[in-house]
Amino acid sequence: MPLRAGFTRFYQDTYNRVLLYAQHRVGNLATAEDISADTYRIAWQKYTEGAEPTLTWVLVIARNVIGNEYRRQAREHARIEHFAALLDLEASDDEAELLSVRLAVAQLSPSERELVYLTYWEDLPASTVAEVLDCMPGTIWVRLSRIRTKLRAALAPAASPHPGDGGVHG
């Protein structure tokens, strides 16, 4: 059964990326798992209809699932829990530094946070980020440049000197 085998392979290769994508946006693991399940259910249907599965393609599906199913829910508790999840630290040698970064990220606008998640926390190249966000790669770089400037300012007492940092992969 090549169709099922192909989808299974795709699922195994991309599931954690999709789960992380969902969890960065909704915080709660169980909710993120539900979103992932819905995403792959849609992906399987499209795959059987001939769609070519790629990471970008399934992330766009996930983005639509999150938008459709969770946009209208009361977000107050979800947001607070989400921000709490951002602050919930695993064991780390530099907890205070990472906490500062997470707080700074949490205070960005929603679209800026989206860009940080996709670029840094989901580790996607600019071309994929552009495709997921329906915008152009050059726009991504300009936005990221401004976001990094904001984050440097927010982290100023502990940030590295300006010349010499940077270097996001392409």
Contact residue for another protein among 6, 60, 62, 69 (CB under 8 A)? 60
Q: Per rule CB under 8 A, is residue 23 in the interface with another protein?
A: yes
The nearest distance, CB 157 to another protein, in angstroms, is 10
| 125 touches 17 (CB < 8 A) | no
The nearest distance, CB 48 to another protein, in angstroms, is 10
Contact residue for another protein among 2, 6, 19, 156 (CB under 8 A)? 19
Q: Per rule CB under 8 A, is residue 69 in the interface with another protein?
A: no
- Sign of the C-alpha dihedral, residues 132, 159, 23, 107? negative
Whole-angstrom distance, CA of residue 93 vs CA of residue 16: 25
Site for another protein in 93-152 (CB under 8 A): 94-95, 97-99, 101-103, 105-107, 109-112, 116, 120-121, 123, 125-128, 130-131, 134-139, 141-143, 145-146, 148-149, 151-152
The nearest distance, CB 2 to another protein, in angstroms, is 13
The SS3 of residue 170 is coil
Q: What amino acid occupies position 10?
A: F
DSSP 109: -
H/E segment holding residue 79: helix 76-87
